[in-house]
Chain A
Amino acid sequence: MAKHESKKAPPVTLPVIELKGLTKHYGHDDVTTTALNGVDLTIEKGEFVAIMGPSGCGKTTLLNILGLLDTSSEGDYALDGRQVADLGHKTQSRIRSEQIGFIFQNFNLISRMNIIDNVALPLTYRRRWRHKNLAAASKILKTLELQEREYYLPHQLSGGQLQRVAIARALVNEPSIILADEPTGNLDSKSSDLIMNELRDIHLRGNTIVMVTHNPDLTVYATRIIHMKDGRIATDSNKLKAKRRTGKKKALSANLSKAVTKAKEALT
């Protein structure tokens, strides 16, 4: 990151998400509120980004725009190098079903469908055989230790189990990006740890994860932490690191030059 920022060298990893001056207004005429106010953000493949900030700072709006559920008012959003604004509705839907996995705070499962059908839902919109879809859903439920609950209805499961179902649904289409909005918001700490470990495993398998959270404890799982405030990015751990690193370098070289001059003085 620091490398190509400073020297314009080709990036080592391809950025999955690239936002430039992203702005989102709500409302009409005089009564507009600005949820996002010029967000610049580049997320590369394999990052685990935690987005933090107070309520109403635009975290969820940002996540919805990243997930193609919402559109920005101004600014550019490039996903895998393609400008999202140029994509048609159908293409956006296809990207949602093939590349993006959503995990919501309130699970968002369809209550009258059983667990396995809920998990297979993203696959049903990809014109595949139902038995194959169910097999894929079953497989993913097994890895989340929910195989005995396949034919239960959502209301028969606990919150932690439901969130694991929601994760299974987000993973079933093998997405490259997983967007999680307060994934542990409604859960006790034990379930919460279970979920976070699951997300870390997914991350270690090479997936990109963007997670919105209130809970600072969860940031230990992330590789990058972004704080938002009033629709802007207040701090970004990547940039801090980069700054710290360049700051150290400068200090070091300053020290070095001081030492060199001192040595020179001493020699002469």
Chain B
Amino acid sequence: MIPTYLRIARQSLEANRVRTALTVLGILIGVAAIALVLSLGEGARNTVRSQVGKLDGNIIVVKPGQNGSRNLSAYNPYNTAITSTLTEQDYRTAATSPNVSVAAPLMFISGSVKYENVARSGTSIIATNEHLDDILQLTIKSGEFIDSSITRDTVVVGQQLALDLFGTDQAMGQSIIVKGRPHTVVGVVKNLRQSINITGVDLDRAVYTSLDNGKSFNQGIAQIQQLIVKDKSTEHIPALADTLHASILTNHKGEEDFTVLAGNDIVASTDELFKNVALITTIVAAISIIVGGIGIMNIMLASVSERTREIGIRKAVGATDGHIIGQFLIEALAMSFAGGVIGLIVAYGVGYLISMQLFFAPALTWQIVVGSLAIALITGVAFGLYPAIKAARKDPIDALRQYD
């Protein structure tokens, strides 16, 4: 019976090409949105994972705030402006702990970076120490990384920022205005080509300066948003995390207002963020697929009432209610399946275009493909069933009487 239904569906869908195309478009947009959102999230997660993997797994990250505050319900829009609970004291404690190879504080400073009075947006100013390049495995393209021995008003810039500002990455000795004060560029860091990493900022467009200099922008107070600690070997990581936790807890007089993350937990925090972002965008995409489903129901209801006579004829020559339901359901499913398949192709295409702009590729995994198609088919059934049942319930006599 299925081939017969498919043939009938093809006939009737072909009879109303524009209508069919518009209905398919509704589902297509929904499926494409869902698949794209999920594959972007997956791609981002893969990038972070691979980066953490590259860092040999001997990294511990200390962040202000409690562990539980990662989830979305505890999200605070002022978080970035809130005074960090991590202090220079904590940095020193971390750096001098046994088994610690090196430690770097990260102080994110908000402000503009200008060259010849033109500001670049999307630039982060990071005040840190000379160990960050070692910990994050940054490669110096020219010059050197920041060094506490050289004067305060010097900066190291990311390669992409140099290109953006000066039009060339030969930026040594150029003068730029950072937060209203002129600074000399003493080094350029080679592009990492990872817009997502454990620091949470785009390092290719970052300005690095010394912690002392960073403090000078903030009335001499260090605002450490993150401590990155490198262990001497991977074996001690859990033990070291515990030690760090205990010693910083002592610094904070027993107040548990920081989080120590090691190994997979570092990814987990970004993972959590992606999950939340993906959740919201998926809800938006889900709404669009529901709208698409309503489109299917609308068209199927119109089709049922247009074809009342056909239903009457079919019943008169022996179609059961089941046959009629099958016929109209397959029609709805054909549209939603077509929308699903084309939607996936569109998602793949758009994902490819996005991957040319970002430094990570959306990962369209088989789970996402199967899931998206399943969603499309479920939508088809959910919104096609009512019109199909309505069609089957039509009284053949009334249906045949409908003429003109």
Residues of A within 8 A of B (CB): 64, 67, 69-70, 89-90, 93-94, 96-98, 102, 104, 106, 108-110, 112-113, 121-122, 124-127, 130, 169, 173
Residues of A within 8 A of B323 (CB): 93, 125
A94 to B319, CA, bound (A): 8
On whether the beta carbons of A125 and B313 are closer than 8 Å, the reply is no
Could you jot down 6 A-B contacts, CB within 8 Å? A69-B397, A94-B318, A108-B312, A112-B11, A122-B317, A125-B318
Instruction: Return the chain A residue nearest B399 by Cβ.
Output: A69
A124 to B313, CA, bound (A): 13
B contact residues, total (Cβ < 8 Å): 24
Residues of B within 8 A of A (CB): 1, 3-4, 11-12, 15, 309-310, 312-323, 396-397, 400, 403
Residues of A within 8 A of B12 (CB): 112
A96 to B397, CA, bound (A): 14
The answer to whether A125 and B317 touch (CB under 8 A), given A106-B403, A108-B309, is yes
Instruction: Return the chain A residue nearest B322 by Cβ.
Output: A90
A62 to B284, CA, bound (A): 57
On whether the beta carbons of B397 and A97 are closer than 8 Å, the reply is no
On whether the beta carbons of B318 and A96 are closer than 8 Å, the reply is yes
A97 to B4, CA, bound (A): 16
On whether the beta carbons of A64 and B397 are closer than 8 Å, the reply is yes
Residues of A within 8 A of B313 (CB): 108-110, 121
On whether the beta carbons of A110 and B397 are closer than 8 Å, the reply is no
Instruction: Return the chain B residue nearest A106 by Cβ.
Output: B403
The answer to whether A102 and B11 touch (CB under 8 A), given A69-B397, A70-B397, A130-B3, is no
Q: Kindly provide the distance from the CB of B228 to the nearest chain A CB, expressed in whole angstroms.
A: 69
Residues of A within 8 A of B15 (CB): 112
Q: Kindly provide the distance from the CB of A73 to the nearest chain B CB, expressed in whole angstroms.
A: 14
A141 to B198, CA, bound (A): 76
On whether the beta carbons of B318 and A97 are closer than 8 Å, the reply is yes
Residues of B within 8 A of A106 (CB): 403
Q: Kindly provide the distance from the CB of A157 to the nearest chain B CB, expressed in whole angstroms.
A: 17
Q: Kindly provide the distance from the CB of A160 to the nearest chain B CB, expressed in whole angstroms.
A: 20
A64 to B1, CA, bound (A): 27
Instruction: Return the chain A residue nearest B14 by Cβ.
Output: A112
On whether the beta carbons of B316 and A69 are closer than 8 Å, the reply is yes
The answer to whether A102 and B403 touch (CB under 8 A), given A89-B321, A108-B309, A125-B323, is no
Q: Kindly provide the distance from the CB of A167 to the nearest chain B CB, expressed in whole angstroms.
A: 13
Residues of B within 8 A of A113 (CB): 11
Partner of A90, one of B4, B11, B320: B320
Residues of B within 8 A of A93 (CB): 315, 318-321, 323
On whether the beta carbons of B396 and A121 are closer than 8 Å, the reply is no
Q: Kindly provide the distance from the CB of B318 to the nearest chain A CB, expressed in whole angstroms.
A: 2
Instruction: Return the chain B residue nearest A114 by Cβ.
Output: B11
Partner of A69, one of B11, B309, B315: B315
Instruction: Return the chain A residue nearest B321 by Cβ.
Output: A89
A98 to B319, CA, bound (A): 11
Residue among A69, A106, A113, A173 having the largest count of chain B Cβ atoms under 10 Å: A69
| Extra pairs beyond A69-B396, A93-B315, A97-B317 (9, CB < 8 Å) | A69-B397, A69-B400, A93-B321, A94-B320, A102-B317, A106-B403, A109-B313, A169-B317, A173-B317
Instruction: Return the chain A residue nearest B396 by Cβ.
Output: A69
Residues of A within 8 A of B309 (CB): 108
Q: Kindly provide the distance from the CB of B310 to the nearest chain A CB, expressed in whole angstroms.
A: 5
On whether the beta carbons of B316 and A108 are closer than 8 Å, the reply is yes
Residues of A within 8 A of B321 (CB): 89, 93
Partner of B320, one of A89, A121, A169: A89
Partner of A126, one of B314, B318, B322: B318
The answer to whether A130 and B314 touch (CB under 8 A), given A104-B400, A106-B403, is no
A93 to B325, CA, bound (A): 14
A122 to B313, CA, bound (A): 10
Instruction: Return the chain B residue nearest A107 by Cβ.
Output: B313
Residues of A within 8 A of B320 (CB): 89-90, 93-94, 125
The answer to whether A130 and B4 touch (CB under 8 A), given A69-B396, A69-B400, A112-B12, is yes
On whether the beta carbons of B1 and A121 are closer than 8 Å, the reply is no
Instruction: Return the chain A residue nearest B400 by Cβ.
Output: A108
Q: Kindly provide the distance from the CB of B393 to the nearest chain A CB, expressed in whole angstroms.
A: 11
Closest 7 CB pairs of A and B: A97-B318, A122-B317, A93-B320, A96-B318, A125-B318, A69-B396, A108-B313
Q: Kindly provide the distance from the CB of A129 to the nearest chain B CB, expressed in whole angstroms.
A: 10
Residues of B within 8 A of A94 (CB): 318, 320
Residues of B within 8 A of A64 (CB): 397
Residues of B within 8 A of A69 (CB): 315-316, 396-397, 400
Instruction: Return the chain B residue nearest A181 by Cβ.
Output: B400
The answer to whether A121 and B403 touch (CB under 8 A), given A93-B319, A112-B11, is no
Q: Kindly provide the distance from the CB of A156 to the nearest chain B CB, expressed in whole angstroms.
A: 16
A93 to B317, CA, bound (A): 8
On whether the beta carbons of B316 and A67 are closer than 8 Å, the reply is yes
Partner of A98, one of B3, B310, B318, B403: B318
Residues of A within 8 A of B3 (CB): 130
Q: Kindly provide the distance from the CB of B327 to the nearest chain A CB, expressed in whole angstroms.
A: 10
Q: Kindly provide the distance from the CB of B168 to the nearest chain A CB, expressed in whole angstroms.
A: 67
A130 to B7, CA, bound (A): 11
Residues of A within 8 A of B312 (CB): 108
Residues of A within 8 A of B1 (CB): 127
Residues of B within 8 A of A126 (CB): 318
A219 to B323, CA, bound (A): 38
Instruction: Return the chain B residue nearest A70 by Cβ.
Output: B397
